[in-house]
Amino acid sequence: MLLNPAILALLGVSAIVTLLVGAATAFGLHLLREWDIASGSELQLRLERRTYLIATLVAFSFVAELVSLLLFVYNAEAMHTQFVGAMCATGVLNVNPWGWPTLFLKIAVFFTGAVWLALNHLDNQGHDYPLVRVKYGLLLALFPLVLAAGAAQALFFLGLRPDVITSCCGALFSPESAGVAAEVAGLAPARAALALAASGALVLGAGSWVLLRGSGGGPFGAAGLLAFVVAIAAVVSLVALYVYEHPHHHCPFCVLKPGHDHVGYWLYVPLFAATALALGAGAVAPWRRVPSLAHAVPGEVRRRTRLAVIGYALFYAVATYAILRSNLTMTDVWW
């Protein structure tokens, strides 16, 4: 299994990212102890110069983690033919206990990395680096998450056994099963549709408020995170049924297959990008009171919010289209 090129690439990227973020964390510890923007010492000048290099390395690391997340999901989907009982990525992730934790940790790294990148970009626009302690303090909290994601991924790939009989998506995402996935799959379609519409109205309304009034970036970030959670649940309990035209097929991965026109990519890519941008806008907004950032914050919040609103709107449009074009009718089990 480890000779798979995609697996080798994922393990290599994870090792490099862990080393880079680890080195940046060590620098951050030194910086938090010695940083003094009012000082003109040689040490302070060295720290200021190195922050640019370190920030570039961290930015590269989080961009690499984004690509790694996409490759991990794609590879899990592509490997399903190698395991008995697997019909899609769900079966592959079920091969051993480390599949799902790896996916969730990678998603967490993606979103927290997006917040760090937003803060770093804003900090570089202030002449006195007002957020340098904040972003490197956040990096100290991020490193264990990156380390955990890399370790979980290595354990997952090392534990892959082709002779294991795994469970398919029908067994996991079934209302009759136990666990969170079964609870989400068991949501009534009407309630899922109502929650999806309400969260969509909330996040688009909050985004429109930011664009019109120039305030409310923090609430928009919170609304974006809520919309993400509801959207994932709605894909499992509602949208997927109409894509498959089957009232009992709830898998969130089969929508990525070519037999369904890769509609999953049109759902997930805008949703993940929009949520990352919304979280970034929420993280940037509180710093408008810092004098050296007062001119930069409004533009950053508006720019990220505008792109996030476009992403959310695309997700809701694709989800609506998938439901309306389907030949499936579920009026008898709608509630």
Both 57 and 174 in a single domain? Answer: no
Both 34 and 119 in a single domain? Answer: yes
Interatomic CA distance for residues 43 and 28, integer angstroms: 14
The pLDDT assigned to 79 comes to 81
Question: How is residue 143 written in tokens?
Answer: 């490193």
pLDDT at residue 171 tops 70: no
Both 183 and 135 in a single domain? Answer: no
Averaged over 79-105, what is the pLDDT?
83
pLDDT at residue 127 tops 60: yes
- Which residue reads 């509609």 in tokens? 263
The pLDDT assigned to 228 comes to 96
137, 165, 193 - which closes a domain: 165
The pLDDT assigned to 331 comes to 57
CA-CA distances (angstroms) from residue 166 to 182, 185, 215, 248, 288?
A: 17, 20, 50, 20, 52
The gap between the terminal CA atoms of the chain, to the nearest Å, is 44
What's the whole-model pTM score?
0.90
143, 165, 187 - which closes a domain: 165
> In what helix (H) or strand (E) does residue 73 lie, and over which residues does it extend?
helix 42-78
Both 85 and 14 in a single domain? Answer: yes
Interatomic CA distance for residues 167 and 322, integer angstroms: 27
Question: How is residue 205 written in tokens?
Answer: 């309304």
pLDDT at residue 172 tops 80: no
84 forms bridges with which residues in the sheet? 165
Q: At what angle do helices 99-123 and 263-284 cross, to 10 degrees?
A: 40
User: Could you give the percent of the chain with pLDDT greater than 90?
Assistant: 44
Domain ranges, residue 187: 168-335
Both 232 and 132 in a single domain? Answer: no
Interatomic CA distance for residues 314 and 308, integer angstroms: 10
Interatomic CA distance for residues 263 and 200, integer angstroms: 19
| Structural domain count, the chain | 2
Both 100 and 5 in a single domain? Answer: yes
Q: Which residue has the higher pLDDT, 306 or 86?
A: 306
Averaged over 188-195, what is the pLDDT?
88
Confidence band (pLDDT; 50, 70, 90) for 96? confident
Both 125 and 219 in a single domain? Answer: no
C-beta separation of 72 from 10 below 8 A: yes
Both 44 and 158 in a single domain? Answer: yes
Both 2 and 151 in a single domain? Answer: yes
Both 155 and 281 in a single domain? Answer: no
Both 176 and 143 in a single domain? Answer: no
136, 165, 194 - which closes a domain: 165
User: Could you give the percent of the chain with pLDDT greater than 70?
Assistant: 92
Both 173 and 147 in a single domain? Answer: no
